[in-house]
Amino acid sequence: MTSRDGFQWTPEEGLAQGIPSIGVISPPTNILSGSKPWDVIVVGGGYSGLTAARDLCVAGLRVLLVEARDRIGGRSWSSNIGGYPFEMGGTWVHWGQPHVWREISRYQMRTDMEPSFDFSRGVNHFQLRTNDGTSIMSHEDEDTLLATALQKFVNVDGSLGRKIIPFAHDSFHVPEARQYDSMSAKDRLDVIAPSLTPNERAALESFVLLCSCGTLETTSFFEFLHWWALCGYTYQGCMDSLISYKFKGGQSSFAIRFFEEALSTGRLSYAFNSPVEAIKDEGSKVTLTTRDGRQYSGARLVSTIPLNVLNSISFYPPLDTQRMAAANQGHVNQCVKVHAEISNKDMRSWTGISYPFNKLMYAIGDGTTPAGNTHIVCFGGFNNHIHPEEDVRETRKAVENMAPGNMDIKRLVFHNWSKDEYAKGAWFFSPPGLLSTSLDALRRRHGNVVFANSDWAVGWRSFIDGAIEEGTRAAMTVKEELQSNPSPRLRL
């Protein structure tokens, strides 16, 4: 099946919208005419929504999953182009992420993981291109460069952040740590600038921007410290947790397990291609209205709508002022992620930074396609923003500029998250001040509406693990209420 989402380009076929994926659901609904109200409506088929829907179905509740897209996965989904999974959004997972690992174990997918990096053959080097020229170094020297720079960046307490953030999951309630949320990455860089070499500064800035996909001025320094703490306060921990391990079959091969388990209970109804217009809490029930006028009711509703989209939905009663202020401000991540299939097999062991002059900035060799070509994944666009589908020639140029003379492009694949009306950005990253003022408000319920999204998880916020954490929390909240007090449930 082919999703409406995503684009691919080849020299032979040109640009085409729509990517085949095993995450596309057909038929798009299983609701029968005359269906009566559900116990719970879950809005959104990403990992938060899939987790909540599955857990509630398994608990014996009747659940309706409403999704605007034609597929599951939300901001984490993969292609199935000739059987190869180009990851359109969230990609990497790690056994140190507890909620992800629980689900990987649940679905017996431990052996379905593989490393992104393969430095066993080929060019086997790191290429740093800056305004000052090009440096080629070993991956060991790459690690030393980045580790040294990052340690200078995070060492606000003489212990690489361990004292200031001893518990990454509860850091925003610690005054000594909370103060850093008013500081941007640029503010912190200015403090340590005299201690950085030009190469350290270029590598550090590009790594920070890879995490936030905003600008240095709009990147919360504290949120970066939070990521650092989650990764064990080490550069190697960051590399292992953030960009090293993925599913052989792609994220959609994981997400589909949640959906299939929920469906197997016989208690899951679903409606895809169903953008939400309004959510009304009437006390005895919550009614959802889609853009085309369909209405569905349940005793509770779990909203997994991302922060940057929340202000496009009409809520009654209206959402509180603090939550709306956060939604109106939004997070900063406007990542451009472009996959390139290239003919040069030796580039499988290549990594590179091209900063700050190029419209793509950070790239790695990430796999070998069935045709034997190298798969390169590139990130950038947040300093010199591009919309890849609007100018493929410019996008190709940006890929080629990552390693001039080595990028014979056979295919480009991408999803423009900035122009995706159901995301309005990629994974969450906070601007200064947003979370210290609004995290608790974003996590609060709103009457019979419970909010669950990775954007306000307390652990691996903005990661797949955080999405599962939030879906688990919402399902437990709703399950305990409805099963301990059956009267609010809307029965057949």
Which one-letter DSSP state was computed for residue 446? B
Cα separations in angstroms, 57 against 71, 298, 478, 479: 19, 14, 12, 10
Annotated binding-site residue numbers for FAD? 48, 67-68, 276
User: What is the percent of the chain where pLDDT is above 70?
Assistant: 97
pLDDT tens digits, one per residue of 305-355: 999 999 999 999 999 999 999 999 999 999 999 999 999 999 999 999 999
Lowest-pLDDT choice from 22-26, 30-34, 284-288: 30-34
The alpha carbon of residue 111 and the mean position of all alpha carbons in its chain are separated, in whole angstroms, by 23
Annotated binding-site residue numbers for substrate? 379
Distance CA 98, CA 84 (A): 27
pLDDT tens digits, one per residue of 390-411: 999 999 999 999 999 999 999 9
Distance CA 255, CA 235 (A): 29
Cα separations in angstroms, 366 against 119, 300, 377: 11, 42, 6
Residue 198: count other Cβ atoms within 10 Å of its Cβ.
12
- Report the side by side order of strands in the sheet with 2-10: 14-20, 2-10, 409-414, 336-342, 374-380, 360-368, 351-354, 126-130, 133-137
Q: What is the pLDDT of residue 476?
A: 98
Residue 363: count other Cβ atoms within 10 Å of its Cβ.
26
Q: What is the pLDDT of residue 40?
A: 98
Does residue 487 register a pLDDT over 70?
no
CATH architecture of the domain formed by 2-76+251-328+424-483: 3-Layer(bba) Sandwich (3.50)
Residue 176's pLDDT band (boundaries 50, 70, 90)?
A: confident
Contacts of 13 (CB under 8 A, 6+ apart): none
Structure tokens that stand for 451 in this block: 């909010």
Q: Among residues 242, 246, 245, 234, which one has the least CA distance to residue 85?
A: 246
pLDDT tens digits, one per residue of 465-486: 999 999 999 999 999 999 987 5
Residue 260: count other Cβ atoms within 10 Å of its Cβ.
12
Q: What is the pLDDT of residue 490?
A: 54
Cα separations in angstroms, 16 against 8, 330, 390: 6, 30, 12
Q: What is the pLDDT of residue 141?
A: 98
* Torsion of Cα atoms, 338 then 343 then 344 then 345, to 10°: 100
Distance CA 363, CA 349 (A): 11
Does residue 258 register a pLDDT over 80?
yes
Main-chain phi, psi angles of 274, to 5 degrees: -135, 70
For range 23-42, the mean pLDDT: 91
The alpha carbon of residue 381 and the mean position of all alpha carbons in its chain are separated, in whole angstroms, by 16
Main-chain phi, psi angles of 376, to 5 degrees: -110, 135
Q: According to the 3-state scheme, what is the secondary structure of 332-394?
A: CCCCEEEEEEECCHHHHHCEEEECCCCCEEEEEEEEECCCCCEEEEEEECCCCCCCHHHCHHH
Residue 37's pLDDT band (boundaries 50, 70, 90)?
A: confident
Annotated binding-site residue numbers? 48, 67-68, 276, 379
User: What is the percent of the chain where pLDDT is above 90?
Assistant: 93
Helix or strand (DSSP H, E) at 204: helix 198-212
- One of 3.30.360.10, 3.40.50.970, 2.60.40.10, 3.90.660.10 is the CATH number of 116-245+336-416, namely 3.90.660.10
pLDDT tens digits, one per residue of 115-138: 999 999 999 999 999 999 999 999
Distance CA 85, CA 8 (A): 13
Contacts of 460 (CB under 8 A, 6+ apart): 97, 99, 100, 230, 454, 466, 469
- The SS3 assignment for 65 reads strand
Domain boundaries, the chain: 2-76+251-328+424-483, 116-245+336-416
The answer to whether 30 and 264 have CB atoms below 8 angstroms apart is no
- Tell if the pTM clears 0.75, that is, is over it: yes
Beta strand extents in 209-325 (DSSP E only):
245-247, 268-271, 276-281, 286-290, 295-303, 314-316
Peptide bond into 85 cis (omega under 30): no
